[in-house]
């Protein structure tokens, strides 16, 4: 019954619809017999057809490796282990296929499938022509390339030239006619980043952006790029307008490091991405292409930077568990395919001018500690120095690579108890290696006091150290000469400092007291005659920054160290205060580095010899700049005075217009014109009770 009633209702409704239409006949939507449809599917379903499955879908992640060794069934497992070691570093391999002959021998080519097509493409780019051994060299291609090469037309057509897209002048800042340096000022949490030019008497703001970085910024070693930190990774900025040069996706990055020649960038995310537990922790990138070259995971606690680079970007290395791993570029594989086994190795560092590694090894029972110089890539040992009763070592290279200083903390007394050595007391000595002399002789400087700081003169053969304990802290200066032991030049006694800051061009040094114990003391010293040019202070001082020319010094109080009196002061190299800048939530200030000069030593000496010839020209420019600044200041003051006069006239006119209203409110008495002693002014004294207090007197 229910079905019958519903059908009757549907028939009735259809009749009503037909009756409501304009005509008695039902509409006909069919095409005529001679109709031809000229609308293509791409016009109707263009957006849907873009996602149409292709025949090659699923093959973009497959690579074909030719040149694989042909081995029997008993050696296939070992071959797979070698292949996985080479190709698994580019991504997760989800499938592999090793074709074999009837007797089980591999055919010399294999198929590997990655979980991500980008990983497959990276494997092709970095392993094609990879030399496995003397007889086998890999030829690696994407599986989809076979279909692409099959469709090559018989007639060759020359490729169309692409329009050139320049990257802009990345070194424009070096072409400033007055050679003004640039610096960056950052407020806390990246709220604002300013790029300023050190013009006189006031700096010029070249660029200012809010939210440019989430934490802080870092310049590349040669000053070409500025790196900013973001939640999703690192961005590099360059060019006249600081346009974005490259982005590197690596979530929650906290530390970065550039290679000395700015070819590569190392990013490190200590905590990793909580949403992605498989995220790579350390990644090395190619700055020019933006491609990931290799990734690593940290092995236990280690100081940043984990990787140390050679001066020419050809090698980089790190210390592992009793091994020193040296990698070569651009393959990013281990040098000679194996690490250097060194039992007890603690730290190492590269020479700033040569491919020489200095490393130190801790004591082990009856085996003494030692410092070794190792030449790379042939791994030949240049010099080794044994050390006894060693607690710790610090390696300090001179900037020109002529000398190496190893600061050795030693135990002063040793006694044997129950087959173990017990130590008490500490002292320090410095082992100076003469790198340019035959057989690398070593001199020692012994200091019986704790060492607070040590620093080589960047240009020259002097070094300085802060030693002693409060209140008797001393600063000593030594000089190293060829064939001679280090000579004590000067000793400043009872100084309130704990850090040394040499000028980039040597000769001048700032002795500073940083932190709560330092008190913010500053002492500017000329080490040619050891003349103290000025003694002053900057309370709660946290940063000292020399400009690349050695003419100016910034001292700052960072918001990260103190919440009050934040800002930075500008000093001359002689210790004369030039400008005080108070900046709320000031966090960081960094000078933009300059690349090494292109002038030879002979040309530099010639310029210094004839420097008096340029004095008049420089003084004339300075006077013009000062007069221009004075003129601009006078014009600015005149404009402000004119605005004030206009404002005053407007207020006087308004005061005159409101005078009748004031008179009406004051019984037509013009109180504005009356003197205080006028008889028309009535004075009324009003007294009222405030408080009564009774104090009994004994």
- CA torsion angle 73 75 80 86 (round to 10): -150
Cβ atoms 482, 435 nearer than 8 A: no
With beta carbons less than 8 A apart as the criterion, state whether 323 and 342 touch: yes
Residue 452 preceded by cis peptide, ω within 30: no
Q: What is the pLDDT of residue 7?
A: 46
When the pLDDT of each residue in the chain is averaged and rounded to a whole number, the result is: 85
DSSP 220: -
Give CA separation, 689 vs 66, 685, 693, 695, 696, in Å.
Answer: 108, 14, 12, 18, 21
Looking at residue 679, its pLDDT comes to: 57
> Per-residue confidence at 255, pLDDT binned at 50, 70, 90?
very high
Own/partner pairs, 290-299, CB within 8 angstroms, 24+ separation: 290/246, 290/247, 290/248, 291/122, 291/125, 292/122, 293/126, 293/264, 293/329, 293/330, 293/332, 294/89, 294/327, 294/332, 295/89, 298/268, 298/270
Report the topology of domain 169-198+449-596.
Methylamine Dehydrogenase; Chain H (2.130.10)
Q: What local confidence, expressed as pLDDT, does residue 285 receive?
A: 95
- pLDDT for 309 equals 96
Indicate the range of 157-166, 233-242, 522-531 predicted with least confidence. 157-166
- Residue 2 predicted with pLDDT over 60: no
Share above pLDDT 70 across residues of the chain, in percent, rounded to a whole number: 87
DSSP one-letter string for 255-276: EEEE-TTSSEEEEE-SS-BTTB
- Main-chain phi, psi angles of 349, to 5 degrees: -160, 150
CA quadruple 669, 674, 680, 684: dihedral, nearest 10: 100
Contact, 174 vs 594, CB < 8 A?
yes
Q: For the residues 500-526, what does the mean pLDDT come to?
A: 90
Cis peptide leading into residue 344 (ω within 30°): no
Query: What is the rounded distance in angstroms from the CA atom of residue 601 to the CA atom of residue 316?
Result: 29
Residue pair 537/518 in contact (Cβ under 8 Å)? The answer is no
Given a cut of 50, whether residue 21 has pLDDT beyond it is no
DSSP label at 367? B
Pairing between strand 442-447 and 420-434?
Answer: antiparallel
Please tell me the least confidently modeled range out of 44-48, 199-203, 629-633, 652-656: 44-48
pLDDT higher at 682 or 488: 488
pLDDT at 171 over 70: yes
Within 10 A of 204 (CB to CB), how many other CB atoms are there?
A: 12
Residue 182: band (very low, low, confident or very high) from pLDDT cuts 50, 70, 90: very high
User: Which pTM does this prediction carry?
Assistant: 0.69
Architecture of 62-147 per CATH? 2-Layer Sandwich (3.30)
Say if residue 560's pLDDT is above 70.
Answer: yes
Where are the alpha helices (H) located in 340-389, listed in sequence order? Answer: none
Task: Give the CA distances from residue 230 to residues 189, 208, 238, 251, 394, in Å, rounded to whole numbers and listed in that order.
Answer: 11, 18, 17, 8, 33
What is the model's pLDDT at position 645? 93
Higher pLDDT, residue 42 or 83:
83
Assign 22 to helix, strand or coil.
Answer: coil
Mean pLDDT is lowest, of 6-20, 284-298, 621-635, 651-665, for: 6-20
What is the distance between the alpha carbons of residues 698 and 691, in angstroms, rounded to a whole number?
A: 23
Q: What would the pLDDT profile of 444-475 be if each residue is shown by its tens digit?
A: 999 988 899 999 999 889 999 999 988 889 99
Rounded to whole angstroms, the Cα distance separating 474 from 488 reads 13
Q: Is the pLDDT of residue 57 over 60?
A: no
User: pLDDT for 301-316, tens place per residue?
Assistant: 678 889 999 999 999 9
Whether 194 shows a pLDDT value over 90: the answer reads yes
pLDDT in tens, 324-354: 999 999 899 999 889 999 999 999 999 999 9
Say if residue 9's pLDDT is above 50.
no
Query: Which tokens hold the place of 418?
Result: 């129950």
Which is nearest to 474 in space by CA: 503, 449, 510? 449
Give yes or no for residue 232 having a pLDDT over 70.
yes
Q: What is the pLDDT of residues 88-103, one digit of tens each?
A: 888 889 999 999 998 9
What pLDDT digit, counting tens, does each position of 668-688 carry?
887 777 654 555 556 778 888
Query: Nearest-CA neighbor of 108 among 83, 127, 142, 74?
Result: 83
Identify the band that residue 202 occupies on the pLDDT scale cut at 50, 70 and 90. Answer: confident
Predicted pLDDT of residue 122: 85
Cα 186 to Cα 41, 189, 214, 556, 632, distances in angstroms: 56, 8, 10, 12, 28
Element (H, E) at 607: helix 601-609
Report the C-alpha gap between 446 and 427 in whole angstroms.
8
- For residue 416, the model assigns a pLDDT of 56
Is the model more confident about 168 or about 606?
606
What is residue 165's three-state secondary structure? coil
Residue 176: the pLDDT is 86
Contact, 412 vs 425, CB < 8 A?
yes
Please report, rounded to a whole number, the percentage of residues in the chain having pLDDT higher than 90: 48
Which pLDDT score, from 0 to 100, does residue 698 have?
67
pLDDT band at 37 (very low <50, low <70, confident <90, very high): low
Interhelix angle 76-87/117-127, nearest 10 degrees? 100
What value, to the nearest 5°, has the Cα angle with vertex 561 and ends 557 and 567? 20
Residue 337 is classified by DSSP as G
Spell out the domain ranges in the chain.
Answer: 62-147, 169-198+449-596, 604-659
Provide, for the chain, the percentages of residues in helix, strand and coil under a 3-state DSSP scheme, each rounded to the nearest 5. 20, 35, 45
Residue 178 confidence (pLDDT) above 80:
yes
The pLDDT assigned to 417 comes to 55
Contact 234, 250 (CB under 8 A): yes
Q: List the structure tokens of 267.
A: 């990013």
| pLDDT, mean of residues 16-37 | 58
At residue 183 the predicted structure's pLDDT band, cuts being 50, 70 and 90, is: very high
pLDDT interval class at 482 (50, 70, 90): confident
Cα 327 from Cα 322, distance rounded (Å): 16
């Amino acid at each position: 019954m229910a079905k019958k009633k519903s059908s009757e209702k549907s028939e009735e409704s259809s009749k009503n619809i037909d009756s409501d239409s304009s005509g008695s006949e039902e509409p006909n939507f069919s095409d005529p017999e001679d109709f031809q449809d000229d609308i293509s599917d791409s016009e109707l379903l263009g957006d849907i057809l873009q996602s149409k499955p292709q025949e090659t879908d699923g093959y973009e992640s497959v690579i074909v490796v030719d040149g694989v060794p042909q081995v029997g069934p008993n050696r296939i497992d070992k071959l797979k282990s070698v292949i996985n070691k080479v190709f698994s570093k580019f991504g997760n391999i989800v499938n592999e296929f090793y074709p074999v002959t009837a007797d089980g021998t591999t055919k010399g080519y294999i198929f590997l499938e990655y979980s991500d097509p980008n990983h497959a493409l990276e494997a092709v780019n970095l392993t094609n022509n990879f030399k496995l051994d003397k007889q086998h060299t890999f030829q690696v291609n994407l599986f989809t390339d076979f279909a692409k090469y099959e469709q090559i037309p018989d007639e060759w057509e020359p490729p169309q030239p692409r329009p050139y897209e320049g990257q802009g002048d990345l070194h424009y800042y070096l072409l400033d006619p007055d050679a003004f340096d640039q610096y960056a000022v950052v407020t806390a949490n990246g709220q604002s980043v300013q790029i300023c030019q050190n013009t006189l008497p006031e700096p010029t703001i070249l660029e200012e952006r809010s939210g440019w970085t989430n934490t802080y910024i870092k310049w590349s070693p040669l000053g070409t790029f500025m790196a900013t930190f973001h939640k999703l990774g690192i961005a590099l900025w360059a060019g006249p307008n600081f346009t974005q040069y490259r982005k590197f996706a690596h979530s929650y990055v906290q530390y970065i490091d550039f290679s000395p020649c700015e070819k590569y960038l190392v990013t490190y995310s200590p905590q990793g991405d909580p949403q992605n537990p498989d995220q790579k922790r350390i990644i090395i990138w190619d700055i020019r292409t933006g491609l990931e070259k290799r990734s690593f995971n940290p092995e236990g606690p280690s100081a940043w930077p984990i990787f140390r680079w050679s001066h020419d970007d050809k090698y980089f290395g790190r210390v592992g568990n009793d091994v020193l791993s040296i990698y070569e570029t651009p393959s990013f594989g281990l040098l000679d395919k194996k690490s250097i086994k060194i039992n007890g190795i603690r730290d190492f560092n590269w020479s700033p001018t040569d491919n020489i590694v200095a490393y130190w090894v801790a004591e082990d029972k009856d085996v003494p500690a030692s410092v070794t110089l190792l030449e790379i890539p042939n791994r030949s040992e240049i010099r080794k120095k044994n050390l006894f009763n060693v607690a710790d070592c610090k390696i300090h290279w001179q900037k020109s690579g002529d000398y190496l200083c190893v600061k050795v903390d030693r135990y002063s007394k040793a006694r044997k108890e129950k087959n173990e050595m017990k130590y008490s007391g500490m002292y320090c000595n410095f082992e100076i290696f003469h790198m340019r002399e035959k057989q690398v002789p070593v001199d020692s400087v012994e200091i019986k006091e704790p060492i607070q700081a040590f620093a080589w003169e960047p240009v020259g053969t002097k070094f300085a150290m802060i030693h002693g304990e409060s209140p008797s802290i001393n600063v000593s200066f030594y000089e190293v000469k060829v064939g001679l032991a280090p000579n004590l030049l000067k000793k400043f006694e009872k100084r309130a400092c704990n850090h040394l800051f040499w000028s980039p061009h040597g000769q001048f040094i700032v002795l500073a007291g940083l932190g709560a114990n330092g008190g913010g003391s500053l002492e500017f010293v000329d080490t040619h005659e050891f003349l103290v040019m000025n003694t002053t202070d900057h309370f709660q001082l946290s940063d000292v920054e020399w400009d690349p020319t050695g003419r100016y010094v910034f001292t700052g109080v960072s918001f990260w160290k103190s919440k009050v009196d934040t800002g930075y002061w500008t000093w001359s190299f002689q210790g004369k205060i030039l400008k005080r800048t108070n900046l709320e939530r000031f966090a960081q200030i960094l000078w933009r580095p300059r690349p090494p000069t292109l002038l030879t030593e002979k040309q530099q000496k010639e310029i210094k010899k004839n420097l008096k010839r340029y004095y008049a020209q420089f003084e004339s420019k300075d006077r013009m700049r000062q007069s221009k600044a004075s003129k601009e200041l006078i014009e600015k003051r005149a404009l402000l005075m004119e605005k004030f006069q206009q404002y005053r006239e407007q207020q006087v006119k308004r005061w005159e217009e409101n005078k009748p209203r004031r008179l009406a409110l004051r019984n037509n008495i013009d109180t504005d014109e009356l003197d205080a002693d006028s008889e028309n002014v009535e004075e009324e004294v009003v007294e009222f009770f405030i408080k009564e207090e009774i104090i009994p007197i004994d």
